[in-house]
Structure 1
């Protein structure tokens, strides 16, 4: 960076790491990879190695991750966008019926969890 300051995404990542280290996010591990090849360096990509949640710095990065998961890895995923106190389901335009129904089911689970606090 020109001004030697971390980007907003790097700052948010560091904050999330500190929160995880303090146990504020529950039992979790923060992988410090900057890209998918770094995350799986030296490994075949196996289902048990994939994180349950990917946090991305912006919707563009999320879109790239979704397309990689769908088209290169043959994965199944559900996407939500969280911010400003809102949870928004974000299916891909190319999602078929099953993926959209799965996304709606996830939305129902999240809505119920929000009601319960």
Structure 2
């Protein structure tokens, strides 16, 4: 939960690096809370809770993904590859699963 809250504290921080653990722990709680919002929608929310949640996590999600890409030595602009059907998602998954690179132009290696 600490990683999820930390991502919100740094919601507009597109500089620096995020470790693999920080990114995937954020993503785990992202999915869990999205499922909870979906359950609330099933009880009469008509999609309101899911839509508000998706809007609330949009910028922090882009920011932490950018920092994770920086950790692998890539620019945050690589997120645009998501727009390529199927292939883009596979490439991004490979990038996000890779180990951290040593100190690079984006900063020192996170712990």
TM-score > 0.5, shorter chain as reference: no
Q: Give the TM-score of the pair, scaled to structure 2.
A: 0.28
* RCO higher in structure (CA 8 A, sep ≥6): 2
Q: Which has the higher strand share?
A: 1
**Pair member with larger Rg:** 1
